[in-house]
Amino acid sequence: MPRSFVAALVLLLVCAAPAGAADPRRGEQWNLDLVEAGGARPVSNGAGAIVAVIDSGVQADHPDLAGRIGPGYDVVQRDSSPQDGDGHGTHVMGIIGAATGNGVGVESVAPGATLMPVRVLGDDGGGSIDEVARGVDWAREHGADVINLSLGSEVPLVGAGGGDSFDAAIRRAIAAGVVVVAAAGNNGLPVCEQPAAGDGLLCVGAVDKRRSRSFFSSFGSGLGLVAPGGSGATATGVSVGEDVLSTYTGSRYEELAGTSQAAPHVAGVAALLVSRGMRGQAAVRRLLATAVDLGPPGVDAQYGAGLVNARAAVAGLGGAVLPGGPGGSGGPGVAPVRVFVRVKRGRGIRVRVRALHSGRVRVRVVRRGRLVARGSRLVRAGRASTVVARLNRRGRRLARPFRARVRVRLPGDARWRVRRVSVR
């Protein structure tokens, strides 16, 4: 990925600012203007959505990211502290969800979303395909709504035979209803440089501030759409305002260019849709349908469906939003419930849920109007949790398989969510 580094060290003095204060470097973010991020803000800020960034980790105490980061995982060190020693992951995260209106630094596409850092790259920016696959699986298993993969030719992934595991992990995420967004790659090839491209994965190419395809961006087969990635133009190694400004390690801000920067714009807009209740492939279709057409009329090899547009994507989605979320209060309504049901050795029905508020989750399983299992559990906000509904005497007497209704009520949710399932 083309990178621009400021030659002199700039010391940033960060002062407390009142809520809603202007972010001083917003004027440098041509990229947000290009995708009309501000036009989407009255409808959605991404509150309640969880966006996993599979990358080099994050500087969690960066002034524009502090309080924005949810639980994450370090696949490299195998611990829960995915500290960024490279800068790439921190830059990507700032594009998606840097604090907005805090009087510090920059703005972002989805400032209400929760960011989930999953570190799969070392401090040298390299990693293995198998570790990336494990990172994708971890994000899926821990409640990610959107997964961003800014991993292209600039990230040296090694590991013989690992491509199959990577591809399989992406397919598992897509099957689970996760929006998977990936960078097209920076070799200028006529093909998206990602596994599973065109099969549910949303492959993103890059354009510069003039809406022209960035010279380095791959295109053609498998390309879904494009987003701001910069031009990579520099003057004596210093950026000249052509690239994408975002958060960086050392509590700094840097301009970088690449399809790695394009992908998180799309991931951020996907989070805006998730916040309005649109998930998985429905969200992917919406992103493609509302993109601004570039190049020849219709879908084309250079730009795919066109330039992602935040305002158009959320236009008309005035229904209930997900409540809460760092950096945004959200609005009225209830959270969608993910219910994965399994019988555990005949003793109970395992229900996998994610709650947006801490408290008690209650589960009831009903067959033909009669209760056959129930259970409850205290859960933490934003964490994927398993609640076991224990079979009662009536439930234990039932022959398998049988059809039933699983009713789930989350903390802060006034109504029961219902799923029809087959218990085997």
Residues involved in catalysis: 55, 88, 260
Cβ atoms 119, 72 nearer than 8 A: yes
User: What secondary structure letter does DSSP report for 26?
Assistant: G
Torsions phi, psi for 189 (to 5 deg): -85, 155
Lookup result for tokens 């995982």: 73
Q: Which two tokens stand for residue 378?
A: 């205290």
Residues 6+ apart with CB under 8 A from 199: 171, 174
d(CA 184, CA 197): 9
Cβ atoms 79, 122 nearer than 8 A: no
Residues 6+ apart with CB under 8 A from 99: 64, 65, 66, 67, 68, 108, 111, 327
d(CA 348, CA 391): 5
Ramachandran sector of residue 109 (left: φ over 0; alpha: ψ -120 to 50; beta: rest):
alpha
User: What secondary structure letter does DSSP report for 241?
Assistant: S
* Three-state secondary structure call for residue 394: helix
Q: Which of 377, 382, 422, 375 is closest to 402 using CA atoms?
A: 422
Residues 6+ apart with CB under 8 A from 12: 63, 105, 251, 252, 253
Burial track 369-404 (b if 16+ CB lie within 10 A, e otherwise): eeebbbbebebebbebeebbbebeeebeeeeeeeeb
Torsions phi, psi for 42 (to 5 deg): -65, -20
